[in-house]
Amino acid sequence: MYLTQEVVDKYKLDKLEDVVEEREDIDQDDEYDYPDFKWKLYFGHQGGVVNPETGEWIYEFHTPTPWGETYSKEFVAWWYGFPVELFSLDDEDGVHHNGFCDG
């Protein structure tokens, strides 16, 4: 996910040092490199949780949790510490999506 400076500032995402970093390799002349999006947010599709009763990992997709089902946008946002709202924003809002697998 690519982000503009305005989005990083609004949501204070620069504090998420493990998953948000400034893009250093932008080609300002290449519109397909999205030069207005100066930041990138890395995340995976977390599909596992620890069963609180047994302490064992459950690696099943769509396992209910207090933060949404595993593998869902709600769960991924909680896991990485960013607002789930970012998934509903688009280029005009300052968020460019490279894709998210919902299944």
pLDDT tens for each residue of the chain, 103 residues long: 999 999 999 999 999 988 999 998 887 777 777 888 999 998 877 767 777 788 888 777 778 888 888 888 898 899 899 999 999 999 999 999 987 655 4
Residue 103, domain extent? 1-43+83-103
Same domain, 66 and 88: no
Domain count, the chain: 2
CA-based nearest residue to 34, from 96, 100, 102: 96
Query: According to the model, what pLDDT value does residue 103 have?
Result: 45
E strands present in 13-94: 20-22, 39-41, 49-50, 57-58
Same domain, 48 and 34: no
Query: According to the model, what pLDDT value does residue 2 have?
Result: 94
Same domain, 76 and 49: yes
96/89 Cα distance (integer angstroms): 8
Same domain, 39 and 87: yes
Same domain, 35 and 6: yes
pTM over 0.85: no
Same domain, 32 and 4: yes
Same domain, 89 and 57: no
